[in-house]
Amino acid sequence: MRFNAICAVAAAVLLLTGCNKKAETQAEVQRDVTKAAAEGQRDVADARADVQEANADADKQVADAIADRDEKDVAREARDANETADKGKSKIMIAQAEADHKVAIEKCEALTGPAQKECKDNADQELDQAKETAKVNR
């Protein structure tokens, strides 16, 4: 009898915990959104720094080729520098899209059931689209 009562209480607790996990409270969502936005901003800033460094390196190669007065080399290094810059733009676009995606997913946590799923699917779709655009621009 005692065992059954314990089992019933345990089951009720588990059920309630499960229910709470499905939809987060407004405060929890807000906290997670803020955290995701901060993380995303950091990632974008890191990507920008990487791109800036790569561009500076590529420009240095062009400057070195100019100093060596080798026209063919200058043309090749300049083309490489343009390519590096294009790749960099794409990298930043993707980092920005991923940052937006993180925030969007956290916002979806305020919803439940099919609405939450649809919300997350839309966010995933937007990310895929942004990645595709970044690839095309490259």
Partner 1 sequence: MTRIFIKALLAAAVLGTSVLTGCAGSESKKETTASQPAAARKPAASQPGTTSQPATTDQQSAGESVDDAVVTAKVKAKLVDDDVTKAYQIQVETFQGTVQLSGSVDSEEARSRATELAKDVGGVKDVKNSLQVRKPG
Binding residues vs partner 1 (CB under 8 A): 52-53, 55-56, 59-60, 62-67, 74-75, 77-79, 81-82, 85
Q: Provide the 3-class DSSP secondary structure of residue 5.
A: helix
Q: How far is the CB of 67 from partner 1 (least distance, A)?
A: 4
Say if residue 48 is exposed, middle or buried (CB neighbours under 10 Å; 0-12, 13-18, 19+).
Answer: middle
Closer residue to partner 1, CB minimum distance, 21 or 69: 69
Q: Pick from 102, 90, 100, 92: which is nearest to 44 by CA?
A: 92
Identify which of residues 51 and 105 has a Cβ nearer to partner 1 in the complex. Answer: 51
Contact 40, 84 (CB under 8 A): no
CB of 74 to partner 1, least distance (A): 5
Taking the C-alpha atoms of residue 104 and residue 66, their distance in angstroms, rounded to an integer, is 47
Cβ 60 to partner 1 shortest distance, Å? 5
| Total residues belonging to the chain | 138
Write down the least CB distance from residue 59 to partner 1, Å: 5
The rounded Cα 14 to chain-centroid distance in angstroms is 33
Smaller CB distance to partner 1: residue 81 or 127?
81
Closer residue to partner 1 in complex, CB, 73/126: 73
